[in-house]
Amino acid sequence: MAVSASIKNSALLILEKTLTIGIAFITGVFLARIAGPQLFGEYAYILSFAGLFAPLCMMGLNNITSKYVIKYPINSHHYVKSALIIRAFGALLSVLLGLFCVLNFNENNSANSLTIQLLILQSFQFLYVIEYYFLANNLVNTTLKIRLFILMLSSLLKIIVIFNGADITLLIKVHGGAYAFIALSYLWFYRVKNAHLILKKQVNSHAIFALFHRGKWLLLSGIAAVIYLKIDQVMLGQYYNNKEVGIYAAAARLSEFWYVFPVLIANAFNRQLHDKFKQSHKDFTLFLQSILAVLIVSAVIISILTYVLSPIVLLWIYGEEFIKSAAILNIHIFATLFIFQRAIFSKWLIIKGLYKYSLLTHGVGAISNVILNIYFIPKWGGIGAAWATLISYVFASFISLFFSKATRPFAFIMLQATFVQTFKLRSSIKLIKNSQKPSQLI
């Protein structure tokens, strides 16, 4: 039986992401082994601090823009252009707000100028909305080739810098420069394809505010999500030092390596989820359970193998200076159980139009993570940050779903997938493969 388009697209993007993440991971390993925990920690701290402001460059409009490009192809540039205007203002705000926080709250003075430089280069991500035009039109190869070439080039330059003294200023400029070059390449290719001419409906302030209104909950949700993803390393830098950040970051990178895969799978099956939602509630629920079952089993296998092999893996990859990272990784890795399911939950919220609950659940995670970090980090350092991260993901992606009548059905779908569909894994995989509806990435 022919493999569905969604599985082919998912495999292609997973292959690309595996390659780029692998290259980035190898670059980080070189930096850690050659420069040591101190410089590696400073590098991770700067990236985490700047990353707190990245959602403002997105403005929660990625999937929403893609949705309207698919729904109204004759007006695709209307929605892309409206999103670009909104995100340009958000990118400017990210730089100004980041600059204010750096100058007033960042006690790591040696990293201030580099953080500001990265904030400016990072702001070019507002142009990344163009990627979702190509994805909505099933032009995966277009964006894939651009990203691969630039990321591989930037990784090669980082390795050269590392082997020639690991100058952190050059490393940050190369890292930030990749954002800018990818964004400008997207813009160039978008115009070459004459996609900017597909504009039957003119952009006006009413259209811009209407699109902003649709994305506001996802924007706030993105801010909350990045807080509990990045705040641990920032707070470790504030309470401890860059070396402790480096020890923690080594473990977190091994754990977070896996986070991209459920997102890619969720993106690949987005169109099919929309179609099944329109056709039958029963089929939609069963399809959700099947995908969740596969993701749950994958997360369990990854977590157990990592727990067993962590000391050997860390010693082999990072060296003796990072052996303390094993205890952190043994805790942090179990967050994948909830991260994997969260990717499908996010799609479910968009399909149901329950955008505000993305904010509420992410908000629970962000608040719990900050509170737990304030209590745990001064006592236990990186170990405490790992526990705070795991517990906050439990709250954000599972417990908080029971708080509201609107999200409670998905919580029960998760339980059903865990205790029933997981034991019928072969049936779940067969159901996914046999789905023959045309699928596009969003």
Condensed to tens digits (0 to 9), the pLDDT of residues 272-308 reads: 777 778 777 777 888 888 888 888 888 988 999 999 9
DSSP 170: H
The pLDDT of residue 205 is 77
71 and 137 in contact (C-beta within 8 Å)?
no
How many DSSP H helices and E strands does the chain contain? 19, 0
Distance of CA 329 to the CA centre of its chain: 19
Query: Can you tell me the mean pLDDT for 341-370?
Result: 85
Query: Can you tell me the mean pLDDT for 322-330?
Result: 91
Gap between the Cα atoms of 98 and 93, Å rounded = 8
118 and 173 in contact (C-beta within 8 Å)?
no
Instruction: Kindly tell me if the per-residue pLDDT of 120 is higher than 90.
Output: yes
Instruction: Kindly tell me if the per-residue pLDDT of 360 is higher than 70.
Output: yes
Instruction: Kindly tell me if the per-residue pLDDT of 6 is higher than 60.
Output: no
Using alpha carbons, select from 110, 3, 103, 98 the residue that is nearest to residue 48.
98
> What does the block give as tokens for 277?
């939602």
134 and 188 in contact (C-beta within 8 Å)?
no
The pLDDT of residue 110 is 65
The pLDDT of residue 2 is 37
Helix ranges (DSSP H) in 193-321: 205-239, 242-256, 260-268, 270-279, 281-317
Gap between the Cα atoms of 223 and 245, Å rounded = 22
Using alpha carbons, select from 183, 247, 254 the residue that is nearest to residue 377.
247
Q: Lowest-pLDDT range, 3-12, 96-105, 403-412? A: 3-12
What pLDDT, in 10s, does the model give residues 124-134?
999 988 887 77
Instruction: Kindly tell me if the per-residue pLDDT of 415 is higher than 70.
Output: yes
Instruction: Kindly tell me if the per-residue pLDDT of 437 is higher than 50.
Output: no
Gap between the Cα atoms of 95 and 126, Å rounded = 12
pLDDT band at 98; cut points 50, 70, 90: very high
Gap between the Cα atoms of 78 and 76, Å rounded = 5
The pLDDT of residue 72 is 72
Instruction: Kindly tell me if the per-residue pLDDT of 378 is higher than 80.
Output: yes
Query: Can you tell me the mean pLDDT for 54-63?
Result: 84
DSSP 403: S
DSSP 381: T
The pLDDT of residue 69 is 75
168 and 114 in contact (C-beta within 8 Å)?
yes
Gap between the Cα atoms of 81 and 97, Å rounded = 24
Instruction: Kindly tell me if the per-residue pLDDT of 108 is higher than 70.
Output: no
Distance of CA 229 to the CA centre of its chain: 9
Gap between the Cα atoms of 338 and 349, Å rounded = 16
pLDDT band at 238; cut points 50, 70, 90: confident
Instruction: Kindly tell me if the per-residue pLDDT of 7 is higher than 60.
Output: no
248 and 385 in contact (C-beta within 8 Å)?
yes
How many Å from the N-terminal Cα to the C-terminal Cα in the chain? 25
Gap between the Cα atoms of 147 and 153, Å rounded = 10
363-375 burial, b for 16+ CB within 10 Å, e for fewer? bbbbbbbbebbee
The pLDDT of residue 355 is 75
pLDDT band at 430; cut points 50, 70, 90: low
157-184 burial, b for 16+ CB within 10 Å, e for fewer? bbbebbeeebebebbbbbbbbbbbbbbe
Q: Nearest 5°: phi and psi at 201?
A: -115, 120
> What does the block give as tokens for 23?
């290259």
The pLDDT of residue 329 is 92
Instruction: Kindly tell me if the per-residue pLDDT of 358 is higher than 90.
Output: no
Q: Which residue has the higher pLDDT, 216 or 5?
A: 216
